[in-house]
Amino acid sequence: MPQNERTYLEKKLDALIKKVQNRISFVFQIEKIKMDEEGEVFILKDLDKQLHKEINVLEDALSISIDIPSTYQYGTSVQKLPKKDRLKVIYQLIHKVKDHRVSRLHLFISPENIVVDQGMTPYFLHYGVKESLPPYEKKEEQLWHELKALAASWVDISHSFEEYLQYEKTLELSEDSKKVLDAPSFASLLQIIEEFIRKDKESSSHYMEVTKKKWKWFRNSLIAVSILLVPAIIYSFYSIFFLQPKQARIITAQEQYLSSSYSDVISTLQPYEIDQLPKVAKFELAMSYISNENLTDEQKTFVRNTVTLQSDSKYLDYWIQIGRGQGEEALKTARFLEETDLIVFALINYRENISADESMDSEERQQKMDEIDREIKEYQQEEDSES
């Protein structure tokens, strides 16, 4: 790759960085790094369990490959996010840098070295290892300039990270980016970002996004008022006391989801049946239930990576039904999807529902539980025979 096409990250690490689909690899030439013992770099595998890492030491090269979940996005795409999301990423990134305490591991800040999950939490892809992998030392002044340059590029997207980093003195800066770049400390930088977040919330509260379809609906409603007054008044009451509060709750739930407040999302959307929610709200509710479900971290990661906005809506219905303790409904949904793992998990949940149902007499309850146990056993035997 020609030198002028190399990214800031590649130039500073003197490494080759390859990205293929959801896997990114850092390749270092052995002769160019200080590593004496191979075991020194394997400390990186224990960081950020959400990002699976493979480390291979060859005769002339060290390769570190990282699998990025499909729901994550690269730091290079953050500039395309809405402002409130960009500010959320910046705020969490500042805290992550400020609170970093592992002296043997050194941070390196650039958009190419960061990925962001759905909750707008940033993660570093590469860390320097003291006396083994670059950056070998903690250069606080450089790290501070990189952090402010990246924050400025996400606050004011008219310039890139490298432009803010290298040409700060000659760029025509906006008032907001100048505040960021002039910040003397972590505390002041956090205060500046908090102020931006507050102003963005105030500004957003004055506007409501209206689709063309809704605009036509409003226009036709006004016409209907002049033709038929009474039905219009009835519908107005319906809108005031049902539709608008529902929309407000959906917006609130979205904000709670973006801040990873999953229990709050569940509480906010609890009053609504599944078919009353739009797909995005159903997705956020399903992911919130998955996060609170009694699953291992590995199982949660697998489910999160398979349940997306593009998934069949029935998958979202299934996890909401599981989360709400609607085992029988979840079982019907799982049978419709014809997925054995989902059927078995729904059967287990349905059994728990029946076990706790005091309205059934003990004989009826035990009979139903025995039927479920037999069905679970049949699926397990079927799975064992296939393996």
Is 141 in the same domain as 279? no
What CATH number should be reported for the domain holding residue 197?
1.10.510.10
pLDDT digits (tens, 9 = 90+) for 144-195: 999 999 999 999 999 999 999 999 889 999 999 999 999 999 999 999 999 9
In a domain, 218, yes or no: no
Q: Is the pLDDT of residue 236 over 50?
A: no
Is 177 in the same domain as 326? no
pLDDT of amino acid 2? 45
Q: Is the pLDDT of residue 276 over 50?
A: yes
pLDDT of amino acid 199? 92
What CATH number should be reported for the domain holding residue 236?
1.25.40.680
Is 157 in the same domain as 289? no
Confidence at 222, pLDDT banded by 50, 70, 90: low
pLDDT of amino acid 382? 84
Length of the chain: 387
Last residue of a domain, one of 170, 203, 236: 203
Last residue of a domain, one of 13, 48, 67: 67
In a domain, 219, yes or no: no
Residues sharing a CB contact under 8 Å with residue 270, sequence separation 6 or more, in sequence order: none
Q: How far apart are CA 164 and CA 146, in angstroms?
A: 9
Q: Residue 61 in contact with residue 27, Cβ under 8 Å?
A: yes
Is 44 in the same domain as 137? no
Confidence at 29, pLDDT banded by 50, 70, 90: very high
Angle between helices 186-204 and 83-98 (to 10 degrees): 160
Q: Which pair of structure tokens corresponds to residue 18?
A: 């390859």
Is 33 in the same domain as 93? no
Q: How far apart are CA 140 and CA 107, in angstroms?
A: 10
Q: Residue 213 in contact with residue 244, Cβ under 8 Å?
A: no
Is 60 in the same domain as 90? no
In a domain, 220, yes or no: no
Is 232 in the same domain as 363? yes
Question: For residue 172, what are the domain limits?
Answer: 73-203
Is 287 in the same domain as 159? no
Number of domains in the chain: 3
Q: How far apart are CA 365 and CA 193, in angstroms?
A: 57
pLDDT of amino acid 225? 57
In a domain, 221, yes or no: no
In a domain, 106, yes or no: yes
Residue type, 119: G
In a domain, 277, yes or no: yes
Confidence at 214, pLDDT banded by 50, 70, 90: low
Is 47 in the same domain as 161? no
In a domain, 222, yes or no: no
Last residue of a domain, one of 203, 218, 237: 203
Confidence at 208, pLDDT banded by 50, 70, 90: low
In a domain, 149, yes or no: yes
Q: Which pair of structure tokens corresponds to residue 376?
A: 């679970």
Q: Is the pLDDT of residue 288 over 50?
A: yes
- CB-facing half-sphere around the CA of 24: CA atoms within 13 A: 17
Residue type, 159: H
Is 95 in the same domain as 141? yes
pLDDT of amino acid 237? 45
pLDDT digits (tens, 9 = 90+) for 36-82: 888 889 989 888 889 999 999 988 999 999 999 999 999 999 999 99
Q: pTM of this prediction? A: 0.54
pLDDT digits (tens, 9 = 90+) for 94-133: 999 999 999 999 999 999 999 999 999 999 999 999 999 9
